[in-house]
Amino acid sequence: MKPAPFAYHRPRDVEAAARMLADLGDEAKVIAGGQSLVPLLNFRLADPEHLVDINAVAGLGELRVANGAVEVGATVRHARLLRDPAVVDAHPLLVAATGWIAHAVIRNRGTVCGSLAHADPAGELPAVLALLDGSVEAVAWRAGSLARRRVPAAELFVGPLQTSLAADELLVGATFPIPAARTGWAMDELARRHGDYALAGVALTVTVDGEGAPTGGRATYLSCAPTPLVVDLGPALGGGRGRPGALYDLVADALDPTDDIHASGAYRRHLAATLTVRSVGRAVDRARAGAGVVSR
């Protein structure tokens, strides 16, 4: 199938884009990479009257490591983030998560911020943003001027494929905090085929003290809840690398996935708990290496 007819707009600056969205309201959709939107248009699951292409908007292609975080503009492609030496060095968790996304051809066009705006509960980047207490920046044309607001991840994702952004707001950037010192990370997921959406997945961090003993940890889960679900792993992290039985039970009690055509909720819960047990050890090893402590 082909998209329904629409009017195409290509603003050149943020103010023009914001004015456009304010004027067009619910009848407009924003496109950057288009890897989620274009299939919806082709199947006519979305039929906006206007398409606002932000690829020519000045200033949205910035990617930098600053202020203890990786700051990503709205038109930065997944592939560019994966190749950026400063980001690779500063934020290996973000890089690893981006590498899990679909296939290379998708990563070449898809954008980091587009993944966040799409808010797919199976998406890797929403999970990482929630895990790290990251945020996005949105702009809108209000009362004759450009209004900006920062939206924390905890307030951004409100349901499957739903965010708290208003129809006239444009997501212009995202901030992924870099984990603190002595914090290790791990990410794992399982799909039926490489590049498919995960049946279940986990991104987690663990922090250790000067002796290498875990002092806290948290995890977020893919494909297990309507939005990225953050779970405190601290109660199960005693005993050096974590207690496998306690970790499994903690995660299994926290998750309540639903059945679908791909897997039962019970299987997703078991898979998420098993991936957590497997991943915590890797995170602890990385945290200890960062702290200069030899793994026990």
List, in order, residues 6 or more apart from 226 with CB less than 8 Å away: 121, 159, 160
Judged against a pLDDT cut of 70, whether residue 218 lies above it is answered with yes
Q: How far apart are CA 113 and CA 30, in angstroms?
A: 12
Residues 248, 236, 95, CA angle at the centre, nearest 5°?
A: 75
- In this prediction, residues 15-25 reach a mean pLDDT of 96
Model confidence pLDDT, tens digit, residues 230-266? 999 999 998 667 788 999 999 999 999 999 999 999 9
- Bridge partners of 216, per DSSP, are 207
Predicted confidence band of residue 295 (pLDDT cuts 50, 70, 90) = low
Its sign, for the CA torsion 74, 78, 80, 84, is positive
Predicted confidence band of residue 195 (pLDDT cuts 50, 70, 90) = confident
Predicted confidence band of residue 294 (pLDDT cuts 50, 70, 90) = low
**Distances in Å between the alpha carbon of 37 and those of 103, 110, 153, 175?**
17, 10, 22, 23
Q: What is the pLDDT of residue 273?
A: 98
Q: Which residue has the higher pLDDT, 22 or 211?
A: 22
- Which structural domains are found in the chain, ordered by start? 1-178 (3.30.465.10), 183-290 (3.30.390.50)
Contact status, residue 203 vs residue 127, Cβ threshold 8 Å = yes
Contact status, residue 135 vs residue 174, Cβ threshold 8 Å = yes
Mean pLDDT score of the chain, rounded to an integer? 95
CA atoms within 13 A on the CB side of 75: 16
Contact status, residue 168 vs residue 25, Cβ threshold 8 Å = yes
Q: Which residue has the higher pLDDT, 188 or 242?
A: 188
Residues 38, 7, 165, CA angle at the centre, nearest 5°?
A: 60
Of 113-117, 156-160, 193-197, 284-288, least confident by mean pLDDT is: 193-197
- Bridge partners of 157, per DSSP, are 163
Of all residues in the chain, what percent carry a pLDDT higher than 90?
92
Tokens of 130: 């929630």
Model confidence pLDDT, tens digit, residues 82-112? 999 999 999 999 999 999 999 999 999 999 9
Judged against a pLDDT cut of 80, whether residue 149 lies above it is answered with yes
Contact status, residue 22 vs residue 52, Cβ threshold 8 Å = no
Q: What is the pLDDT of residue 140?
A: 98
